Amino acid sequence: MDTDCCQIEKSGADTFFLYGDLCHAPVIGRLDIHASSYLLCKNGQCAGIFKTVPPEFASVPVLDYGGCLIMPGMVDLHIHASQFAYRGTGMDCELLDWLARFAFPEESRYADPDYAAGAYGIFAEQMRKSATTRAVIFGTIHREATLLLMDLMEKTGIVSYVGKVNMDRDAPPALREPAADLSAFDTFGFVNAAAKRNYRRTKPILTPRFIPCCSDSLLSELSEVRRTYDLPVQSHLSENPGEVELVKKLMPDARFYGDGYDRYGLFGNESRTVMAHCVYSSDEEIRRLLKNGVWVAHCPNSNMNLASGIAPVRRYLDLGMRVGLGSDVAGGQTESMFRAVTDAIQISKLYWRHIDSGARPLTFPESFYMATRGGGSFFGKVGSFADGFAFDALVLDDAVMPTPREFTVEQRLERAFYLGLDQLGIRAKFADGRMIYQH
Ligand code: GUN
Ligand code: FE
């Protein structure tokens, strides 16, 4: 039976143990496994891993998931809620055609509150059942629909940033805001309205779609909005060859694509920023991403579907850049972050074999890290079970995938990702110390 998060919130203890096979990756490249152990949640935070319950905690309730895998919740650094309805269709084009033929017509529908309510209701319900506990989400240009999306995300218990999209050019009239100042004005209204709703886990994020859809005057207006509210920023960067060429034409004086955002203070430093893709980032752009501390949302499934290419993730990791994973629905066909983890590994093997024999393929522990701690760092102390980290956890019962073989916990974890155990049903999900889903 599904359990409503609000009911649990009312009745649940804020200090409890989860018991099971604990798996996390506090540092990149190494899994930390604690078989048959207790993870303490205290005031919403991880507060220790124990082999037996210490005497001082003898009265603390234990949620017994013996035999199950317990891991940090998945962090989706890049997903378009407004494209969820048509995922899995229109996959035979590249980015710019795909936007014109599929994404923009779909997003135009969100001017209709009834359509938005239906479509976002389905999205939120799917997210609730997914392995994701944190997400950074694109809505559309529509203020009311995006606020509705925030209402629905808040109810899921997932912690998220949600953006009203800004775009004032290179889109059909229905999806082009009539002027830069009106787009900014509407964004002020959006942020103010969100503040009045007193969400606990849902926050606004500034969302200029990408340079082709944002004039210089819009970016300039948005830099004001960002400063006023100290908003984080999300956008797209260097995703596809056609897009990169278009940006060169539209912003000829920018040193590189990302410089087009940076000149308006929308590229890291004091603005916490996540840029999706970074497949074609030049050396200079990579240096700026690193220097400004921009998070890269690597979206392998989308990059394959839209034939965008393969991001040089090994290089980003070697440089110590901040890298997480994104589903990028509906460029990506699924919200499954388990799929993102295995896609990232598999695509890196093709990159190594065909493009750069010096770029070692990603390993499972590395990709698992990107989906948890890598993306989680955008939210703060999120993505591992280390003391003081937000208590986000996912419980999975791999007995639903029978095998006559015996496996170590590490092997069971890897198998759960490759076989898509998240699609077979999550046993329970916790975010910020509260159970938000159980089945
Ligand atoms: N670039 C600008 N908009 C989009 C979008 O909706 N999806 C993807 N994958 N890239 C984009
Ligand atoms: Fe995207």
Distance in Å, CA 38 to ligand 1 centroid: 42
* Predicted pLDDT at 11: 36
**98 and 130 housed in the same domain:** yes
Q: Copy the structure tokens of residue 79.
A: 């997903």
Residue nearest atom 7 of ligand 1, based on CA coordinates: 331
**370 and 402 housed in the same domain:** no
379, 404, 422 — which closes off a domain?
Answer: 379
Distance in Å, CA 87 to ligand 1 centroid: 13
379, 399, 429 — which closes off a domain?
Answer: 379
* Predicted pLDDT at 425: 83
* Predicted pLDDT at 50: 98
* Predicted pLDDT at 9: 45
* Predicted pLDDT at 271: 96
What is the band of 5 on the pLDDT scale with cuts at 50, 70, 90? very low
**253 and 112 housed in the same domain:** yes
Distance CA 138, CA 81 (A): 6
Once rounded to an integer, what is the mean pLDDT over residues 181-206? 98
201 lines ligand 1 (CB under 6 A): no
Distance in Å, CA 17 to ligand 2 centroid: 37
What is the band of 12 on the pLDDT scale with cuts at 50, 70, 90? low
Once rounded to an integer, what is the mean pLDDT over residues 35-46? 98
Q: How many domains in the chain? A: 2
SS3 letters across the chain: CCCCHHHHHHHCCCEEEEEEEEEEEEECCEEEEEEEEEEEEECCEEEEEECCCCHHHCCCCEEEEEEEEEECCEEEEEEEHHHHHHCCCCCCCCHHHHHHHHHHHHHHHHHCHHHHHHHHHHHHHHHHHCCEEEEEEECCCCHHHHHHHHHHHHHHCCEEEEECEECCCCCCHHHCCCCHHHHHHHHHHHHHHHHHCCCCCEEECEEECCHHHCCHHHHHHHHHHHHHHCCCEEEEECCCHHHHHHHHHHCCCCCCHHHHHHCCCCCCCCCCEEEEECCCCCHHHHHHHHHHCCEEEECHHHHHHCCCCCCCHHHHHHCCCEEEECCCECCECCCCHHHHHHHHHHHHHHHHHHCCCCCCCCCHHHHHHHHHHHHHHHHCCCCCCCCCCECCEEEECHHHCCCCCCCCHHHHHHHHHHCCHHHHCCCEEEECCEEEEEC
Q: Residue 82: which of 42, 50, 122 has the closest Cα?
A: 122
Once rounded to an integer, what is the mean pLDDT over residues 286-294? 98
**157 and 134 housed in the same domain:** yes
**337 and 361 housed in the same domain:** yes
Q: What is the CATH number of the domain that holds 30?
A: 2.30.40.10
**255 and 222 housed in the same domain:** yes
Would you tell me how many other CB atoms lie within 10 Å of the CB of residue 63? 21
What is the band of 148 on the pLDDT scale with cuts at 50, 70, 90? very high
Question: Is the overall model pTM greater than 0.95, yes or no?
Answer: yes
**65 and 80 housed in the same domain:** no
**165 and 29 housed in the same domain:** no
Closest approach atom of ligand 1 to CA 332 = 9
**124 and 35 housed in the same domain:** no
Q: At residue 49, does pLDDT exceed 80? A: yes
Distance CA 31, CA 201 (A): 28
* pLDDT, tens digit, 9 for 90 and up, residues 369-420: 999 999 999 999 999 999 999 999 999 999 999 999 999 999 999 999 999 9
Residue nearest atom 11 of ligand 1, based on CA coordinates: 236
Once rounded to an integer, what is the mean pLDDT over residues 160-187? 97
**248 and 106 housed in the same domain:** yes
106 lines ligand 1 (CB under 6 A): no
Q: What is the CATH number of the domain that holds 157?
A: 3.20.20.140
Once rounded to an integer, what is the mean pLDDT over residues 96-125? 98
Cβ contact 20:397 at 8 Å: no
**46 and 99 housed in the same domain:** no
* pLDDT, tens digit, 9 for 90 and up, residues 78-92: 999 999 999 999 999
Closest approach atom of ligand 1 to CA 236 = 1
332, 359, 379 — which closes off a domain?
Answer: 379
* Predicted pLDDT at 39: 98
Mean pLDDT for the chain overall:
96
Distance in Å, CA 78 to ligand 2 centroid: 6
Residue 48 domain boundaries: 5-72+384-438
**50 and 137 housed in the same domain:** no
